[in-house]
Structure 1
Amino acid sequence: MNIQIIDSISGQPIPYSNIYFSNNNGLISNENGSFELIKSQLKENDSMHISMLGYKKSSFLINDFNDTLIKLVQTPIKLSDVILTNKKLSSEEIISKVVENIDKNYEKEFTENKIYLSRKSNSSTEKFIINKFKSTVPEINQSLIDSLLANLAKENNSGLETLAYYYRTFNDDIQKKIKIIKSRETYNKDGEVLESINKKMEEAFKNELKPDSYYKIKSGIFGGDLELDGLEEVDSTNTESIKKFQEKEIKEKDDFAKNQIRVINRFYNFLFFQKESPLNFILKPNKYIFSEPKIDILGNDLVYKMEAYPKGRGKYSGILYINPDDYAIVRIDFRNIKPVYNIKLLGVFVNIYQRDGKMILSKYDNEKYGLSYAKINFGQRAGFDRPIKLIEKNKNVKGRRKQNEISFRMDLIFDEKSITELQVFESRKISESEFENIKNKNDVIPDYLEEFTTNFWEEF
């Protein structure tokens, strides 16, 4: 069941509240104050506790709890002046102490991480024009193209969720591993514009294809023919060639586990102490202007809060939350203040205009901090304006090999936004031998659902 935590007076959501149970497991509510409770995972006599600094702690017996709203009552916060003033440091001094304590504070050895990964995206087609259309294949004509474009969805929403055990170390030379427990996805099947067009045209084209012919897709952006990257000539008379091509397609679609590893790795590569992290506020402090530190409240703890703003060509600004006891950064909020990526070349443009989010680090059983929650909001706008040719060729005929040809110009502009979240429920240190004995083999691919249900975490 989905539950939301709200303020009892204002009715506003209380984000990032702490939820923990009698068995010492717990989670954090999202930015809307919501979380999912799976009663079947808990014992009938278990208790659930909700806490947030500034609010009275609430506790419930799982067996008696059936509400979808939890209202927390505000309580006054009394802070000692001694606590606020006994470590009055400058931003430079705090940053220096953060750097000094990185190795002591953060786990960089082999770990097993119990994770939930979620990605929700929305893509909208702003412009899709096909003109200068010519075809020697009767089944593929202008009326077919017009009908196809008229019936294609202009917007596509999709979602992907994965539960897994993720194994890693911060040594870049060692491949990360994953054991996927379950995964599910949802998307608008009618909204896959390019795939729909390609499938329709390919089916009609193959109906006209001679038994001993093959075909190519070309784009003449240099005044000649250029084979598009990732597309190959396939001889339809060579069964071994077809088999290899089909195996390649299957591998690309089914290699889901490696894709999930790449997505998770991207979060960890954003951690501020990684050498190549774009959030290099701490490792390259000379490139940033830091605000004077303020005392703030995060969860149940007092923290230093500082803002970082790039001096020159830096693309990200950030807000740092630092534990005053051990000088560990426990949270970073970041956002891009310049386009992350912007290119326009030879009829193609890509503009990544948004990448912002937050990263929360928590202590686990080994008393070192590790990533517990991360979120990245992503936005890009891209376009494609090029001539396209689909050419049937035959090497067993006299004269020129070209038999049929379809040519047109495609002018496409789309916008894509996504929210990717990672939650780490548990993290434990493991030995190198344990890591080596883990088989990096997965047979799980996402189950398709028309819409997500709320029992995804059951049995996990």
Structure 2
Amino acid sequence: MTTIIKYIITLLAGLLISGMTAQTVSATLIDSKTQAPVPFATIELSENQGVISNEDGIFTITEAQLKKVKDSVYISSMGYERKGILLASLTDSIIQLAPKSFELKGVFLSSNPLSAKEVIEKVKENLDKNYYVQDLSKKKIFFRQSDFNTMKKVDFGFKKSTIEELNKELIDSIATLVPRESSYYREVVGDFYGNYRKHKFHIDKAAELYDKSKDVSVDGLSERLETIFKENVKPDSYLKIKSGLFGTKVQLDSITAANEDANKVKVEVENASEKNYFQQQMKDRISELYTQLFFNEDSKIDILEKSNRYEFEIRDYTFIDQEPVYIIDFLPKGKKDFKGTAYVNTNDFAIVRLEFANVRPLFKFGLLGIRYGEDVYRGKMLFAKNSSGSYSPRYLELENGNYFGVDRPLKVIEKNKHVKGRRKQNELSLALDVQGTSVSKYEMVVFNSEDISSTAYEAASENENIKATYLSKYDPNFWTGHSIMEPNAAIQAFEVVE
């Protein structure tokens, strides 16, 4: 009887696990005390493989990933107890994480404590060892791009036109075509080969989510204006474009020739872009994330390169992936740009997590009614140790934004040198007042990573014919079978209203 009971229990457990591995599982991580979501936690599935919870604490494990899990998954996040969950009991649910109770400060104060400045110097000394830039790897990644544009003011300020069709109604209608708010999302999954300096990207699947009605057609608008000019302007005339004190002369026959050449170039570019434009765009975005890693020479985040221009303070200690870390806050001295927090491993002095934000515009320009500034630059970087012992990115986030404004008069005047007397034939006079902002956010998640040889890197191929699928609303089924970071509430709610 006992043997039969054991057999039944084993059979039921096996069926339960089989049922679990035949579906995708999503869950939400929350703090057991505050009930607040736990973002950017690591859900470890096996060595060098796992997923990360999004900013709302939500994560998903795909069917393919579940099949590779032996018996349990392990969840860890900064400041929380590491939690193991049997695969059989992992269901769509809310998972509570308990804050980790520890007294590290007393331990460090009693054993030759280091100052914040000394810790940062040791970080710099160990950079080459901790972030070995020559390591080649194959990473399964998910990349998301989110763009948000806001036009605060669009006023072309019609003042005068001697061409009947270029009237106030037309100019005002052009202004109304410019969307006041628009958002755009792009998501990509694939295999990323290489290191920080050279890489290949084989894209498996991609999606674009935006409202096509807000995608203003510059080509269509240009054709309409060009037709109006051709019908109302003499062939041997030239245009004088003036804005305030400045003006320039443009020959109409040169415009025609330029348009013909541009059409030829456009055809050639379109033919080339069918194969690799989208692919190259994605590689460029990820390259930008890599370029801005804090240990790269070209990074804007200069807290190590210009460490003498920043103030560092050890605020506390915590655990990340079961390793004790210093929590070090930094602020700029004088005119430096960033504030934030670095989490430094106490054993090997690697920065395993970095959060940063600019405290002043990184660039600004203002002259004669034209304004431009880069006023948003912030992000997060999370690193994990790979099989070779060095650290590589697990999650990267970079958000940058700018503002712009044009408040200037604009005149387009037709003149003809063959006309006797007064040469001015037609005139369009505007008073431009345009203001707006733009913000772009890039996120990259690494789900698993493995070291590869230079031969394997050279043999890796790219999918040059890949194209993004257009979606007019969020579709949770689109990514079935692929590992992604769960979308935030804004993306889930996105839907084009006809």
- Give TM class, smaller chain: 0.7 to 0.9
Report deviation, 1:403: 9.4
After TM superposition, the structure 1 stretch with the greater mean CA deviation from structure 2, 265-274 or 284-293, is 284-293
Instruction: Check if 1:102 corresponds to 2:127.
Output: yes
Letter in 2 for 1:366: S
Instruction: Check if 1:371 corresponds to 2:393.
Output: yes
Unaligned runs of 5+ in 2: 1-24, 483-498
In structure 2, do the counterparts of structure 1 residues 375 and 23 end up closer, same or farther at CA, with 3 Å as the change threshold? closer
Q: Tell me which residue corresponds to 2:180.
A: 154
In structure 2, do the counterparts of structure 1 residues 60 and 382 end up closer, same or farther at CA, with 3 Å as the change threshold? farther
Unaligned runs of 5+ in 1: none
Q: State the SS of the aligned residue for 1:235.
A: helix
CA distance in 2, matches of 1:217, 1:20: 65
Pairing 1:6-405 to 2, within 5 Å after superposition: 6-21=30-45, 25-43=49-67, 47=71, 49-52=73-76, 54-55=80-81, 57-61=83-87, 65-67=90-92, 69-74=93-98, 77-79=101-103, 82=107, 85-86=110-111, 88-109=113-134, 110-132=136-158, 139-150=165-176, 152-171=178-197, 176-192=199-215, 195-196=216-217, 199-203=220-224, 205-206=226-227, 209=230, 220=243, 223-225=246-248, 233-235=255-257, 242-248=263-269, 255-292=277-314, 294-386=316-408
Q: Tell me which residue corresponds to 1:3.
A: 27
Q: State the SS of the aligned residue for 1:224.
A: strand
Report which of the two structures shows the higher radius of gyration computed on alpha carbons. Answer: 2
Verify the 8 A CA contact 2:208 2:470 in the aligned structure 1. Answer: yes
TM-score, L = length of structure 2:
0.76
In structure 2, do the counterparts of structure 1 residues 45 and 327 end up closer, same or farther at CA, with 3 Å as the change threshold? closer
Report deviation, 1:8: 3.8
Letter in 1 for 2:263: I
Verify the 8 A CA contact 2:242 2:410 in the aligned structure 1. Answer: yes
Report deviation, 1:283: 2.9
1:406-447 deviations in Å (ceiling 9; x for gaps): 664432111223332111223333333443444566222322
Verify the 8 A CA contact 2:411 2:427 in the aligned structure 1. Answer: yes
How many equivalent residue pairs? 446
Letter in 1 for 2:450: R
Quick check: which one's helix share is greater?
2
Report deviation, 1:106: 1.3
CA distance in 1, matches of 2:110, 2:56: 33
CA distance in 1, matches of 2:220, 2:242: 18
After TM superposition, the structure 1 stretch with the greater mean CA deviation from structure 2, 441-450 or 41-50, is 41-50
Verify the 8 A CA contact 1:22 1:48 in the aligned structure 2. Answer: no
Q: Tell me which residue corresponds to 1:424.
A: 446
Verify the 8 A CA contact 1:360 1:374 in the aligned structure 2. Answer: yes
After TM superposition, the structure 1 stretch with the greater mean CA deviation from structure 2, 442-451 or 86-95, is 86-95
Verify the 8 A CA contact 2:203 2:462 in the aligned structure 1. Answer: no
Q: State the SS of the aligned residue for 2:280.
A: helix
Letter in 1 for 2:295: F
Report deviation, 1:159: 0.8
After TM superposition, the structure 1 stretch with the greater mean CA deviation from structure 2, 383-392 or 50-59, is 383-392
Verify the 8 A CA contact 1:380 1:416 in the aligned structure 2. Answer: yes
CA distance in 2, matches of 1:76, 1:332: 20
CA distance in 2, matches of 1:19, 1:424: 12
TM-score, L = length of structure 1:
0.82
Give the CA RMSD over aligned residues. Answer: 3.8
Q: State the SS of the aligned residue for 2:124.
A: helix
1:139-163 deviations in Å (ceiling 9; x for gaps): 5532233344446532111111112
1:442 to 440, 464, 473: 464
Letter in 1 for 2:221: K
Letter in 2 for 1:272: F
Letter in 1 for 2:34: S
1:180-239 deviations in Å (ceiling 9; x for gaps): 2222111222334xx3466335235337747x9799996646532277xxxx9453895x
Verify the 8 A CA contact 2:244 2:409 in the aligned structure 1. Answer: yes
Verify the 8 A CA contact 1:40 1:458 in the aligned structure 2. Answer: no
